[in-house]
Amino acid sequence: MDEISRINLLRQQLHEHNRRYYVLNQPEISDQEFDALMRELQELEARHPECFDPNSPSQRVGSDLNHEFQQVQHRRPMLSLANTYNKEEVSDFYNRVSEGLQGQPFKICCEMKFDGLSISLWYEHGRLVRAVTRGDGVQGDDVTENVKTIRSIPLVLPHRDDIPEEFEIRGEVLMPWESFEALNRERAASEEPLFANPRNAASGTLKSKSSAVVARRRLDAYLYYLLGNDIPSESHYQNLLLAQQWGFKIGPQTRLVSSLQEIYDFIDYWDTERRNLPVATDGIVLKVDSIAQQRSLGMTAKSPRWAIAYKFLAEKQTTILREVTYQVGRTGAITPVANMDPVQLSGTVVRRATLNNEDFIRRLDLHIGDHVFVEKGGEIIPKIVDVDLDARDQNLGPRVEFITHCPECGAKLVRYEGEAAHYCPNDANCPPQLCGRIEHFISRKAMNIDSLGPETIAEYFRRGIVRDPADLYEIRRDQISGARGQRDKSASRILQGIQESKNVPFERVLFALGIRFVGEIAAKSLARYFKSMDALMHASIDDMLQVNGIGQVIAQSVTTWFQNPQNQWLVERLRSYGLQMELSEQELSVHSDRLAGQNIVISGVFAHHSRDEYKALIERHGGKNVGNISAKTSFVLAGENMGPSKLEKAQRLGIRIMSEDEFLQLIENPTQL
Ligand code: IVH
């Protein structure tokens, strides 16, 4: 067999193995065998660039190249569903349908309401050509490159007579609980903000600019609506079953019923059973099955008359409070944590829940042994929402009293005026604060020393190797390479990572210091305004208030931080190790406030600079690069081939379109604005 035929065969086989694994959950070959076939395909494709196929199974790994999303108009608007919350409203819907159909018999397709974000997929000649988010229902973002990395979405369909030449299929992109929890564990470890729920995680991921990130995050998709001019069946349910045979993942819970009672049974069953599903659901969707009947029922302005959503109540459980423990964060903030008897909540076992702060505990009059209601609504961290006072008996333990001293270092806690949280003021010696500051220092958005992680830092801290961030630059190989040098390789990596961090730009060094209230953006603004650590150290509060986005709270916090001799010493040591203490030449040379307050959309292909360079230019001149055109857009920086829908929208909103040359002139000479 020649190499080209082999490529085609491998592609076919890999598509099928993909489907068996991700859609049917019935793999036929081992992961190793799959990887071997994939590697073979990748090697052959590399040798035959002329055979490139955007829908090849090898394209599922995504790319790190940044891309902008083009706005695309939906061929048919994406409507939403009217919600119901109880059986009476469901029965009203059923009766309305029955009346609307003038007594004709009808069937209802019952489906899970998946809690992710909706997606519209376009197929032409058996190939995925476009994937678009719902957007505002009329137009959405073209996220095709990202969607291709979702393994359960077929890129190429089998050859079958019943597949229309062109069709649209809609469904929900989701992040399964398992991926969601793993992702948040990872983010917690690198101090990145956690996603509140799988829906936010899925939507954040799908809108990521790097499809390689999407590929790593393991999204899934369930399809629930087939549309087109020549779809195979007059029954919605039959269409779904066919789509399943074409390789799409359909909710296996889907049932066709013909009475109100059967609908109730479906609701009752899944109301509890949904907790065992691998993905989040927030209700049930009921659809009239016959497409002819759907047509005759029609739509209101917002939603079809032939379908409705029944929403589950937020999930709540009761369990018993056994103990309250307290966590100390990097800033010294104390979080009270309820430790409870384990309880099943939305598919996971919950043992701990947040209690927020002292006032909250008081308000509940919380006692050890109380029966508490735990909720995992939208949030990832479960919370206690109430106490069942009627369930109290003689076994009730003592009332929960907020601690007065730090559980880690014993310092007396303080509570600042106007704040709900308690703090441990011993920032110079309290171990979790010291450790937390080093973890923040190395985190991705700060110094990005990714050869080190929180566990390693904790170990070095225990062994007395590091107590503050500057100690990192004093680590010797013999301290970390193991007694017999068995960790030599990882020691080299770690030392190299630490060395490389000396090139991290000043603004991130400033962020890395972990000054209270100085986040990424404040650090950037301060760095650009003052240009050096020295200038910032000597700045007064009034000086700082001149900076865009800096208010009293941040200015005060920065001043206090620099007044502390220990912090001054830290900065001097970091300086002596060669960290960047001022803006680089390049950043200094082209920087102004010329575009301050301007929201600028970049679109099209450019001749003089790359898109990324324009983005950097905009930021260096104080402007903001935004993704989508809206009424708030100041102007569009347009290159060649600006997307037609963007152009149309800009014109409709009367937003100025600026050419590349005009823009370059503008940053030289801002009076033209
Ligand atoms: S059908 C015209 N079916 O719920 C019918 N939607 O408010 C349009 N959803 O935007 C949708 N599971 O994102 C349908 N089985 C299901 C669904 C479902 C989740 C979402 C979808 C839609 C929203 C409706």
Question: Which pair of structure tokens corresponds to residue 463?
Answer: 């062994």
Least confident of 155-159, 243-247, 426-430, 465-469: 426-430
In a domain, 71, yes or no: no
Q: Is there an atom of ligand 1 within 6 Å of 225 CB?
A: yes
CA dist 444 → 180, 272, 453, 509 (Å): 20, 40, 10, 12
∠ Cα 535 538 540 (to 5°): 110
Tens-digit pLDDT profile for residues 640-661: 888 788 888 888 888 888 988 8
CATH number for position 323:
2.40.50.140
113 is catalytic: yes
Verify that 162 and 271 share a domain, yes or no.
yes
What's the total number of domains in the chain? 6
Q: Which residue has better confidence, 380 or 515?
A: 515
Query: What's the pLDDT at 400?
Result: 96
CATH number for position 494:
1.10.150.20
Query: What's the pLDDT at 559?
Result: 97
Verify that 171 and 305 share a domain, yes or no.
yes
Rg of the chain (C-alpha set): 29
Tens-digit pLDDT profile for residues 97-128: 999 999 899 999 999 999 999 999 999 999 99
CA dist 383 → 356, 362, 391, 422, 423 (Å): 8, 15, 19, 19, 21
Which of 40, 512, 100 minimizes the C-alpha distance to 298? 100
What is the number of the ligand 1 atom nearest to the C-alpha of 83? Answer: 7
Tens-digit pLDDT profile for residues 353-370: 989 889 999 989 999 999
Verify that 94 and 222 share a domain, yes or no.
yes
Pick from 74, 79, 80 the residue to mutate for probing ligand 1's pocket: most ligand atoms within 8 Å of its CB.
80
Verify that 517 and 461 share a domain, yes or no.
no
In a domain, 347, yes or no: yes
For 496, other C-beta atoms within 10 Å of its C-beta total 12
Measured in angstroms, how far is the CA atom of residue 223 from the centroid of ligand 1?
Answer: 10
Verify that 510 and 619 share a domain, yes or no.
no
Tens-digit pLDDT profile for residues 408-436: 999 999 998 878 889 999 988 999 999 99
Verify that 287 and 385 share a domain, yes or no.
no
Query: What's the pLDDT at 136?
Result: 83
pLDDT at 670 over 60: no
The pLDDT-based confidence of 452 (bands split at 50, 70, 90) is: very high
- Final residue of a structural domain among 391, 416, 449: 391
Q: Is there an atom of ligand 1 within 6 Å of 306 CB?
A: no
Measured in angstroms, how far is the CA atom of residue 199 from the centroid of ligand 1?
Answer: 14
Q: Is there an atom of ligand 1 within 6 Å of 221 CB?
A: no
pLDDT at 320 over 60: yes
Q: Is there an atom of ligand 1 within 6 Å of 304 CB?
A: yes
Q: Is there an atom of ligand 1 within 6 Å of 84 CB?
A: no
The pLDDT-based confidence of 672 (bands split at 50, 70, 90) is: very low
Tell the residue nearest (CA) to atom 12 of ligand 1: 113
In a domain, 406, yes or no: no
Distance of alpha carbon 190 from alpha carbon 444, whole angstroms: 7
CB-based contacts of 649, cutoff 8 Å, min separation 6: 71, 629
Burial of residue 571 (number of CB atoms within 10 Å: 0-12, 13-18, 19+): buried
Measured in angstroms, how far is the CA atom of residue 193 from the centroid of ligand 1?
Answer: 28
Query: What's the pLDDT at 67?
Result: 66
Verify that 581 and 606 share a domain, yes or no.
no
Look up the pTM and report it: 0.57
Tens-digit pLDDT profile for residues 515-545: 988 988 889 889 989 999 999 999 999 999 9
Verify that 459 and 342 share a domain, yes or no.
no
Verify that 488 and 584 share a domain, yes or no.
no
DSSP H helical segments within 101-210, as ranges?
144-147, 177-189, 198-206
Measured in angstroms, how far is the CA atom of residue 287 from the centroid of ligand 1?
Answer: 10
CATH number for position 155:
3.30.470.30
CATH number for position 603:
3.40.50.10190
The residue written with tokens 């990714």 in the block is 450
Verify that 201 and 260 share a domain, yes or no.
yes
pLDDT at 301 over 80: no
In a domain, 66, yes or no: no
- Final residue of a structural domain among 311, 340, 375: 311
**How many residues in the chain?**
673
Q: Is there an atom of ligand 1 within 6 Å of 237 CB?
A: no
Tens-digit pLDDT profile for residues 126-153: 999 999 999 888 889 999 999 999 999 9
Verify that 359 and 307 share a domain, yes or no.
no
Pick from 224, 227, 236 the residue to mutate for probing ligand 1's pocket: most ligand atoms within 8 Å of its CB.
224
Are 32 and 604 in contact, with CB atoms under 8 Å apart?
Answer: no
Verify that 212 and 270 share a domain, yes or no.
yes
- Final residue of a structural domain among 588, 622, 652: 588
DSSP string, 447-480: T--TT--HHHHHHHHHTTS-SSGGGGGG--HHHH
Query: What's the pLDDT at 380?
Result: 63
In a domain, 402, yes or no: no
Domain range for 489: 431-503
Query: What's the pLDDT at 23?
Result: 87
What is the number of the ligand 1 atom nearest to the C-alpha of 303? Answer: 2
pLDDT at 584 over 80: yes
**Whole-number average pLDDT of the chain:** 90
In a domain, 74, yes or no: no
Measured in angstroms, how far is the CA atom of residue 81 from the centroid of ligand 1?
Answer: 7
